[in-house]
């Protein structure tokens, strides 16, 4: 037998392999740190953030102080240098307390990832350290009123003009719009070019002349994260704000989503974990027919199914995060699967949680109805779950 490799037919029974199926200690320690912060500094404000539809400034301040507001940015740009899995753990634990607050690190990653994947050294140095230091947030402008799932149908235009570009059009459903200082914006630069290869990515700054944001949308959930339209009225920007090559914008955008859909899966897992934790505590305390509700077998079956599917969703998200870090060839499948499965699980768990609390689940005195409302968006943004199933099927049919 050669060292480190069994002979053909010989079984491997030593225990070290099992270490692959648990998070390394550094991730467990990170989880403990973020959970403590979320419990102490984010959760106490979550109901008020939702009730008043206000940006969770307490969470933002706490996350900046702990260097958790944009943990994915590399150390060379003054960031924490967290890998994809660590970033998911951060987002999951924040979402367990407040889904709106989890969108601070999630959207900072979404907005800056095009720069990280395809930006020049100059554009990275210009924007990434500012976000890493907590001096600005970064949003992502892809969707339009008539170009949501069909992103290639976007109508926003960028016309070459001298040594720069002039942007005209609008973007819809932009998360954290109005509080972010910077925006990755996709625009058609060659209207007569091949569909999908005629789009270019740019950075727009909140102080650019001709750029404005609409009124906040009145939403079902994640009310603490402002969602607005972006408007571009002949916004003039230099070519030094272009991300990647002319015509590569949609390719960059879709590659970005392969990575960032996983963070939505992490958000969904966090929401579901919060709902399960509150439900277990409630049914152990609530008494009916002379005993705790948790003692009824029908309730136990519901709890078991909630916990089982939650664990499956978490493992799917973590596996996808590892693939994101490695840039595996099947990342598009696993990114879509993580987002799709985890969000479906979160919706199912939060609905069951409301059911198990009965009347208490339906009122705002308990956080379950908020969690149920928050969970719904995870099935919709960064590509609806119907689109995720198309992504997965296309990957299978190509192989």
User: Taking Cα atoms as reference points, which of 293, 281, 285, 327 lies closest to residue 84?
Assistant: 327
Q: Rounded CA gap, 86 and 105, in Å?
A: 12
234: phi then psi, degrees, rounded to nearest 5: 50, 55
135 is catalytic: no
- Among residues 93, 144, 369, 382, which one is catalytic? 382
Task: Give the tokens for residue 197.
Answer: 């290869």
Task: Give the tokens for residue 321.
Answer: 């995060």
Q: Rounded CA gap, 77 and 134, in Å?
A: 12
Task: Give the tokens for residue 312.
Answer: 């499956």
Q: Rounded CA gap, 182 and 140, in Å?
A: 9
User: Taking Cα atoms as reference points, which of 64, 367, 68 lies closest to residue 221?
Assistant: 367
> What is the C-alpha radius of gyration for the chain, rounded to an integer number of angstroms?
22
Task: Give the tokens for residue 72.
Answer: 């994915």
Q: Rounded CA gap, 101 and 90, in Å?
A: 11
Q: Are 334 and 392 in contact (CB under 8 A)?
A: no
Q: Rounded CA gap, 321 and 318, in Å?
A: 5
User: Taking Cα atoms as reference points, which of 170, 146, 175, 156 lies closest to residue 231?
Assistant: 170
Task: Give the tokens for residue 303.
Answer: 């709890």
Q: Are 100 and 56 in contact (CB under 8 A)?
A: yes
Q: For residue 110, with 0-12 CB atoms within 10 Å meaning exposed, 13-18 middle and 19 or more buried, which class applies?
A: buried
Residues forming the active site: 382
């Amino acid at each position: 037998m050669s060292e480190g490799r069994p002979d053909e037919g010989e079984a491997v029974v030593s225990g070290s392999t099992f270490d692959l199926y648990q998070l390394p200690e550094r991730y467990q320690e990170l989880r403990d740190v973020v959970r403590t912060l979320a419990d102490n500094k984010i959760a106490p404000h979550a109901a008020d953030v939702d009730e008043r539809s206000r940006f969770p400034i307490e969470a933002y301040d706490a996350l900046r102080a702990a260097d958790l507001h944009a943990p994915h940015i590399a150390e060379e740009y003054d960031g924490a240098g967290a890998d994809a899995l660590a970033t998911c753990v951060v987002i999951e634990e924040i979402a367990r307390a407040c889904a709106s607050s989890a969108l601070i690190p999630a959207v900072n990653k979404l907005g800056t990832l095009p720069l990280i994947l395809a930006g020049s050294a100059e554009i990275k140095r210009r924007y990434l350290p500012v976000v890493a230091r907590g001096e600005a947030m970064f949003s992502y402008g892809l969707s339009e009123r008539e170009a949501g799932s069909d992103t290639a149908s976007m109508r926003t235009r960028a016309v070459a003009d001298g040594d720069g570009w002039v942007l005209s059009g609008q973007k819809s459903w932009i998360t954290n719009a109005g509080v972010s200082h910077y925006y990755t914006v996709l625009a058609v630069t060659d209207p007569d070019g091949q569909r999908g290869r005629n789009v270019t990515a740019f950075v727009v700054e909140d102080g650019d002349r001709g750029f404005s944001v609409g009124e906040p949308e009145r939403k079902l959930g994640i009310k603490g994260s402002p969602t607005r339209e972006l408007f571009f009225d002949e916004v003039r920007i230099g070519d030094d704000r272009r991300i990647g090559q002319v015509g590569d914008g949609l390719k960059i955008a879709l590659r970005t989503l392969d990575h960032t859909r996983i963070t939505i899966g992490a958000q969904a897992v966090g929401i579901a974990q919060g709902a399960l934790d509150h439900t277990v505590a409630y049914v152990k305390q609530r008494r009916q027919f002379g005993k705790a509700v948790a003692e009824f077998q029908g309730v136990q079956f519901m709890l078991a199914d909630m916990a089982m599917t939650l664990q499956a969703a978490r493992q799917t998200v973590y596996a996808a995060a590892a693939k994101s870090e490695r840039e595996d060839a099947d990342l598009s499948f696993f990114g879509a699967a993580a987002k799709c499965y985890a969000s479906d699980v979160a919706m199912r768990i939060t609905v069951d949680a409301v059911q198990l609390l009965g009347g208490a689940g339906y009122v705002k005195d308990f956080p379950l109805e908020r969690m149920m409302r928050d969970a719904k968006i995870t099935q919709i943004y960064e590509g609806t779950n119907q689109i995720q199933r198309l992504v997965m099927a296309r990957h299978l049919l190509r192989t």
